[in-house]
Structure 1
Amino acid sequence: MKLATLQAQLPDFEIRLLTLADQEALLELEQSNPRYHQYFSPEPLTMTEVQHDLTAHPDELAAAQKQVFGFYLAHRLVAVLDVLNQYPQEQFLFVGLLMVNKAYQRKSVGRVIVTGLMQAALQANITAIQLTRVTADEGVAKFWQKLGFEDGNQLFLPLKAGGRLAVTTMTRLLQ
């Protein structure tokens, strides 16, 4: 996904590719959503985990296929969008994470970002957007369903602290 293509669809935001230099702002944003992190670990979120969020990608992908976009309003990071290009198939875009700062939730920020992402994806000849969501999080399910995403398979992710987390794939075909 080209930054310029996404920026053209979302002119009200300043959009930047996040790097390790942005980890403190990303930590603050993620800390505004403690419930999300609690699905994965009972321990507090650490800077090491934020660094991992900025760089982790499936082994079969090149690092360049991962992009982490930061969305700014009035020079404040209000949302993050982590995508994998050409994953799990060539003309797919995989959303690894969309998180909106708690202070900006329920104010259309997430919906506007995803709508702009879908338009930018169409321009880039992407045929589908896919993601996984925590199965137990019904609020997140409703958010994505309102945007036309449909549930797919349920998978189980192994957790570092032991056990597994149920996640559900969701896909939206683009026209």
Structure 2
Amino acid sequence: MIEQLSQSYSCRRLTEADIPNVLALYESNPFYFQHCPPEPSLESVREDMQRLPDGKSESDKFFLGFWHDQDLVAVLDFVLAYPDEKTVFIGLFMLNQTYQGKGLGSQIVTEVLAYFSKNFQKARLAYVKGNSQSQGFWEKQGFKVVRDEIKQAHYTVVAMEKFLN
């Protein structure tokens, strides 16, 4: 399944051994972490790889890397059938800053959503309020706000959804 998510990049689950590469990708995006603390660390990457919503199991979660040769181009975290059976939840999508502004993030998301559309009716995510870069990116992908202002410990998020064809 995972290999079919992208026609352009090799894609696989990330492991403990990949944590330094993920941290380097995170560190290439300081703007994101201005809005979504804490600053990235080896431990925060490990936590992201393991974090699950209540009621979901490890078999429902995928923390993936998209690779071009030896370069980690993007990270995608998603949970199947959350918050309901018809929805796939995107917990994180981050593109290495080196690859930004070239349409590659949109290309990856388009391919991933096309794959998800085979089994799900919609995709859901949340961006951190005030992060205009994330808001603009997801709006460009066709996501619409479904709920404003969900308070978290250190920030507020805005939920968005997109119906998949």
* Fold similarity call, TM over 0.5: yes
CA contact (8 A) 2:35 2:130 kept: no
CA-CA distance at 1:141 after TM superposition: 1.2
- Can you list the C-alpha shifts for 1:29-86, whole angstroms capped at 9, x where unaligned? 0000112122233x54221111001111113111111101100112210100000111
For structure 1, the residue ranges without an aligned partner over 5 or more in a row are 160-164
Matches within 5 A, 1:152-171: 152-154=146-148, 155-159=150-154, 165-171=155-161
1:151 aligns with 2:145: yes
Measure, in 2, the Cα distance between the counterparts of 1:4 and 1:114: 14
Structure 2 counterpart SS, 1:158: coil
How many positions carry a matched residue from both structures?
164
Paired position in structure 1 for 2:66? 71
Measure, in 2, the Cα distance between the counterparts of 1:146 and 1:74: 28
Paired position in structure 2 for 1:33? 29
- What is the identity, as a one-letter code, of the residue corresponding to 2:161? T
Matches within 5 A, 1:133-148: 133-148=127-142
- Can you list the C-alpha shifts for 1:84-126, whole angstroms capped at 9, x where unaligned? 1110110211000000011100111110011001110112x21
Paired position in structure 2 for 1:24? 20
Matches within 5 A, 1:80-159: 80-123=75-118, 125-154=119-148, 155-159=150-154
Measure, in 1, the Cα distance between the counterparts of 2:110 and 2:59: 24
Measure, in 2, the Cα distance between the counterparts of 1:99 and 1:40: 13
- What is the identity, as a one-letter code, of the residue corresponding to 1:168? V
Superposition misfits of 4+ residues, deviation over 3 angstroms: none
Structure 2 counterpart SS, 1:59: coil
